[in-house]
Amino acid sequence: MNDPRPFGAYAPSGFAKWALERTRAFSNRWAPRRMAFMLRRLAVQSLKGQPLDVETLGARMRLYPYNNVCEKRILFTPQFFDPQELALLESRIAPGFTFVDVGANVGGYALFVAARAGPSGRILALEPQPEIFDRLTYNIRQNPFGTVKAIACAVADKTGELTLFLDPRNKGESSVKIVGPNEADAIRVPAITLLDLLNRENFTRIDAIKLDVEGAEDLILDPFFRDAPESLYPKLFVIEDGRDQWQIDLPELLESKGYRLILHTRLNVVYERG
């Protein structure tokens, strides 16, 4: 269950505080990284189900490092959390920056951008899972940015309602495609197409979109590029690399629309237009 108490009620102390200071200081080399993961595991066990209130990625967040890989990473080892992707994204941020975070989880990307975009930025954070959405909105409220709007819905190939499959081993994973056969829980959630979303929110241009929907990125982008005006094509896409699950050649589609691959990491691909 999520705890609504004021931020600071779970300030790090004792072993957890000591572990946080050390895990965040480790470099990305193999041996220090292994040590950080081992210490992180011990610290999570020591918390016995409680969250921690911390500042990470430039924002204040309450994080529950249990069955959600994203929260565990940005709590104890934010230096390992998509560092190349975030650095590239940060280099593109300018006044009036517009960013759409599809599959926002607890707000890592959205709050990272908000902390750097300033008061003229505009950020949408979409998360369909009710428990995770509650954590997202809590984290947004703990910060003074005032530029992040959270929406509790999925983005898909049609507007309406859909079945979302949840992985009980990792609450950050949810998809319209089954994740974790024979184990996935299923819930019904509202859904909207990317184009309908941008039109409903009165966007006239998009600087960047992050898509992390566990292999369903093609279901979102195929109809978007079929129906959207070129003026709504984002300048930058950060996309979870799900090519083994995509039903179309998504890289080819992006390249046909004028995008080029500028970064390929273990987890993501980044495409830029123009």
Each residue's pLDDT tens digit, 145-177 = 999 999 999 999 999 999 988 887 787 777 676
* DSSP tag of 29: S
- Report the percentage of the chain scoring pLDDT > 90: 90
- Is 109 in the same domain as 244? yes
Predicted confidence band at 181 (pLDDT cuts at 50, 70, 90)?
low
Conformational region of residue 214, where left means phi above 0, alpha means psi within -120 to 50, and beta covers everything else: left
Domain residues for 230?
Answer: 83-273
Q: Indicate the residue among 79, 99, 115 that finishes a domain.
A: 79
DSSP string of 85-132, one letter each residue: HHHHHHHH--TT-EEEEET-TTTHHHHHHHHHH-TT-EEEEE---HHH
What average pLDDT is seen over the chain?
94
- Is 66 in the same domain as 106? no
- Is 226 in the same domain as 115? yes
pLDDT at 93 over 60: yes
Q: Indicate the residue among 40, 61, 79 that finishes a domain.
A: 79
Residue 3 lies in a domain: no
- Is 122 in the same domain as 41? no
Residue 208 lies in a domain: yes
Count structural domains, the chain. 2
Query: CA 270, CA 239: separation in Å to the nearest integer?
Result: 6
DSSP string of 139-188, one letter each residue: HHHTSS---EEEE--EE-SSSEEEEEEEETTEEEEEESS--STTT-EEEE
Average pLDDT of span 30-45: 96
Whether the CB-CB separation of 68 and 132 falls below 8 Å is answered with yes
H-helix or E-strand spanning residue 138: helix 130-141
- Is 63 in the same domain as 87? no
Query: CA 4, CA 135: separation in Å to the nearest integer?
Result: 9
Residue 44 lies in a domain: yes
* β partners of residue 186: 165
- Is 138 in the same domain as 212? yes
- Is 134 in the same domain as 152? yes
Give the residue from 85, 83, 79, 86 showing the smallest Cα distance to 36. 79
Does residue 212 sit in helix, strand or coil? Answer: coil
- Comparing 78-82, 123-127, 205-209, 243-247, the range with the smallest average pLDDT is 243-247
- Is 55 in the same domain as 189? no
- Is 60 in the same domain as 87? no
Residue 7 lies in a domain: no
- Is 125 in the same domain as 75? no
Residue 75 lies in a domain: yes
**In the structure encoding, which two tokens stand for residue 266, read together?**
């273990």
Query: CA 265, CA 39: separation in Å to the nearest integer?
Result: 25
Instruction: Enumerate the H helices of 24-95 as residue ranges.
Output: 30-47, 69-76, 83-92
- Is 66 in the same domain as 98? no
Contacts of residue 272, Cβ cutoff 8 Å, sequence gap at least 6:
235, 236, 237, 259, 260, 262
Query: CA 72, CA 7: separation in Å to the nearest integer?
Result: 18
Average pLDDT of span 257-261: 98
pLDDT at 216 over 60: yes
pLDDT for 249 equals: 97
H-helix or E-strand spanning residue 27: none
Give the residue from 57, 72, 54 showing the smallest Cα distance to 17. 54
pLDDT for 274 equals: 87
pLDDT for 180 equals: 52
pLDDT at 179 over 60: no
pLDDT at 193 over 60: yes
pLDDT for 95 equals: 93
Predicted confidence band at 183 (pLDDT cuts at 50, 70, 90)?
low
pLDDT for 122 equals: 98
Kind of pairing, strands 208-211 and 259-264?
unpaired
Residue 8 lies in a domain: no
Which CATH number covers residue 140? 3.40.50.150
Query: CA 167, CA 165: separation in Å to the nearest integer?
Result: 7
pLDDT for 246 equals: 95
pLDDT at 182 over 60: no
Question: Identity (one letter) of the amino acid at 73?
Answer: R
* β partners of residue 263: 270
Q: Indicate the residue among 36, 63, 79 that finishes a domain.
A: 79
Residue 220 lies in a domain: yes
pLDDT for 113 equals: 98
Predicted confidence band at 184 (pLDDT cuts at 50, 70, 90)?
low
